[in-house]
Copies of this chain bind each other. A is one copy, B any other.
């Protein structure tokens, strides 16, 4: 475990330090929760000393907030670009974007974020607000817009598009939370992607007029 870090140390460029620390922070905060994750652990995982963390981040709280912002923003931009590009009917669009999100939330380090934010929302109101504004609402509008288009085209039946968007995303986000909480204790993992299949098919078929 240390070997891996040691090996990388050599080829690591100085400019990556803050990023590596944020990666370590996300991993640790995901695994242990904000309070139980120690700065020492983050430093160790990042391959630096405790003091170095404080060189780049004023405090544990600042580290946490920086981590959320850093992980969230680039991802959001990418996501919104996809919509503009995609073509096809609403059902196809919905499916394509859902797959992108599913992948990001299952197979990138981003997958730990929802659990962390949800768990610490009560203790970090400004992070919660930030997350709602910059992720929740934007993602919801994204999907709502697609659904609205589907309804406008007569493809979907009439429902509240934002509520429908919420239903649609909840199953995907829930899977990400699950992955970092009870999945290891459940003999029925999410790795088989039938879960997503069923969700997409039911949701879209159910929505179709």
Q: How many interface residues does chain A have, given as a range?
A: 35 or more
- Residue in B123, B132, B170, B177 whose beta carbon sits within 8 Å of that of A32 in the complex: B123
For the complex, what is the distance from the CA of A163 to the CA of B129, rounded to whole Å? 33
For the complex, what is the distance from the CA of A137 to the CA of B181, rounded to whole Å? 15
Within 161-203 of A, Cβ neighbours of B (below 8 Å) are at: 162-164, 166-167, 170-171, 173-175, 177-178, 180-182, 184-186, 188, 192, 194-195, 197-199, 201-203
Chain B residues in 8 Å Cβ range of A125: 185
- 20 contacts across the A-B interface (CB closer than 8 A): A32-B123, A33-B35, A35-B35, A35-B36, A115-B119, A118-B178, A121-B181, A122-B180, A122-B181, A140-B188, A159-B198, A160-B198, A162-B188, A163-B194, A163-B197, A167-B199, A170-B175, A173-B174, A174-B177, A202-B205
